[in-house]
Structure formats: C-alpha cells, structure tokens
Amino acid sequence: MSILIILSIAILTYSILNLILIFSIPREDEKSFSGKLNPVSIIVAAKNEEQNISRLITSLKELPYNKGLYEVIIIDDNSTDKTFDAAQKAIEGCTNFHIYKVHDKIFPAKKGALAFGISKASNPYIIITDADCKPAKGWLHSFSQKFDEGFDFVFGITPFYQNNLPVNKTACFENLRNSMLTFSAAQLGMPYCASARSFGFKKSSFEKINGYSNTVETLSGDDDLLLREAVKNKLKVGAIFNSDSFVYSASKQTWKEYFQQRSRHTKASIYYLTRHKIFLGVWHTLNLAMLFSPLLCIVNMSFLFPFIFKIIIDSITVLLIQKKFGYRFKLYEIIYLQIFYEIILILNFFNAVSRKDMWK
C-alpha cells in the first residue's frame, strides 16, 4: 500500500507540473508591433567564424528595421582564420555596421569580447547574437516592443535547424525540452536561463549590475549568469514568444562538438541561484526517478507504471508545445528521444564537472 501511495504522489506531482508547463506557454503570438522603434545596438562576438560571419551580416542587413535606428558591432576575438577580413568585406558601404579587433580584454573568453562591444555601443538598448545565427524578420521589432513594456532583460526562442543526423535530432530535442522549461519558468516569474543567440537588455540595466563583473565563476554564462545577476537585483525579465522573432542556427555536427558545447553550457548551471538549483533538482530528479522506475519491478511490478505514465505525458506535452518553439518531431521520435534526453543530462552534468572551460 505504501508503494502505491508513493507512486501515486509521484504521478500526480508530475501531471501537475506538466499541466503548469503547458498552460504557462502562450498559444498565440503577441499582437503585431505598433509602438515606436527603439534605437538598438547588436553585438556579435566572433572567434574563428570565417565560414559564418558573412551570412549573419547579410541577414542583419535584410532586417526590416529603420537603418538609422540600429547598429551592428562585430568583435573579432583573436581569430586565427580570416573572420575579420570576411566581415570587413561584407559590411562595405554599410555605415551602421562596425568591426573591431580586441586583444586586451577586461574579462576572459566571450564575456571580454562582448563587454568590449557593449562599451562601443552608441544606443541605449543592447541585443546580442552569435556569428552562426540567422534572426527572423521580426526579431528587432519584438525586442523593441518588450523594451517599451519596461523590461530590463529580454530573451527569445533560438531553435536549431532540423535534419536527420542523430546528433542533430538529439541537440534539437534537448533544445526544445530545455526551452519549454526555461520559458515556462520565465512566465511564472522565475527566469533562470537565456540563450546568448537572442538576448537583450537596457545598457543602463547592464551597467547597474556591473556588467559581467559578477559572472566570472566560469568562462561560459555570459547569458545565464548575467540573467542571474539581473534576478538578484530584482530587474524585470521578459521572454519573447513570437514566431517571427526566432533566431535559427545550426547544431553541432559531431558528438564530440556536441558534448563539448553542452558541458560548457551545463557548467554555468552549477552557479545558478539556490532557488533555481532546487527547482531544477526537483524537476530532473522526478523525471529520472520515473524513467528508471522499471528497474524496481523486481520488487513490485507497480514500478512500471510511472515510466509508462511519464512517456505518455511527455509525448502529449511535446506534441502540444513543440511548434511554438520551431520544431516538428514525430511521435516515435519523441518517445525515444525523451529517454535519450534524460540520460544525456546525466552525461552532460558529469562532463561539466570534469572538463576544463574553453572558449573555442
């Protein structure tokens, strides 16, 4: 009887958490932008991005935003390839595009390059993206609208392009599940994570929390740990859900690159606020307990039910929400990828703890 009570509580708790997740994500895009356009500075830190930087610049040129109201600042962070030359050629004739080389940085790795770029910004609103990204047409408009609504820090949805490679499917599904949790938490007033591929803030708010000064525990975290400081200082954080503000990029193409990237990102979570670590700890512990519950079938066959129930609930949740985050997975893919996702989380955590930080 006690086993059934424990299992029932676990299933009920998981059901409630997933219902909260589903209903906290808005089904429809926000209304079309109708306010004023705010002047923004787009900052890009690029290191050995010769193959990508021109495509990014082209996509930024094509944004339907008043050219006099946005500037693009590209920072070549000690590249050993021809990133600087490729960017310089691509921005010829564009008076609102600028490129700099940085050698002496206040902060290590990407944070130092971004801090340098932000110091060069002439506009009061900053938006950050990466050199291998492609923003959708409404990207700047959506950020401008959120800034108009009084948000200090804002982040958007950043899906990967989908293909049939196993590593891509894994990366895309992980991105989807992480985004679902991240954006749901933000809607519930508990933001803890953002992606630097689509991340913006008021320059004055950035200065108020002393920029990246309090985020140096790890080389990564130029997004999550900066958001942590914003939360600590009770600044207003908002999320963008509009499909025309997605920022797409390619996932890593090899397992080695994938695990290196994920260990780097996961390492930042070690330095989250305590309440966020408790929230994530409870969520992931419950998920893993239900996933591995069949191992206890030798004690009681009832332990099979949490696993079955989890797979059903996960499948329904993903099917209902995935389009909102730019993905399309078939039912059979969701089933096996969900199992793989939970196992990958464990591997990524141990990789994060054991691996040394590297900025490319």
Residue 262 lies in a domain: no
Confidence band (pLDDT; 50, 70, 90) for 140? very high
pLDDT for the residue 354: 67
Q: Which domain holds residue 142?
A: 40-164+186-254
Which residues, including other chains, have CB under 8 Å from residue 157's CB and lie 6 or more apart? 179, 183, 198, 240, 241, 245, 246, 247, 324, 325, 326
Instruction: For 78-106, write each residue's pLDDT tens digit.
Output: 899 999 999 999 999 899 999 999 988 89
Residue 58 lies in a domain: yes
Instruction: For 325-345, write each residue's pLDDT tens digit.
Output: 999 999 999 999 999 999 998
Residue 327 lies in a domain: no
- Give yes or no for residue 32 having a pLDDT over 70: no
Nearest to 153 by CA among 195, 200, 84: 200
C-alpha span between 142 and 127 (Å, rounded): 11
Phi, psi for residue 30 in degrees, rounded to 5? -70, 160
pTM, entire model: 0.92
State mean pLDDT over 253-272.
86
Q: Which amino acid is at 19?
A: L
Confidence band (pLDDT; 50, 70, 90) for 125? very high
Instruction: For 306-329, write each residue's pLDDT tens digit.
Output: 999 999 999 999 999 999 999 999
- Give yes or no for residue 360 having a pLDDT over 70: no
Confidence band (pLDDT; 50, 70, 90) for 33? low
More confident residue, 346 or 227: 227
Nearest to 133 by CA among 190, 174, 72: 72
Helix H or strand E segment including 133: strand 133-135
More confident residue, 151 or 300: 151
Give, rounded to a whole angstrom, the gap between the first and last alpha carbons of the chain. 54
Instruction: For 103-116, write each residue's pLDDT tens digit.
Output: 888 998 899 999 99
Q: Indicate the number of domains in the chain.
A: 1
- Give yes or no for residue 355 having a pLDDT over 90: no
Kindly report the CATH number assigned to the domain that includes residue 198. Answer: 3.90.550.10
% of the chain exceeding 90 in pLDDT: 72
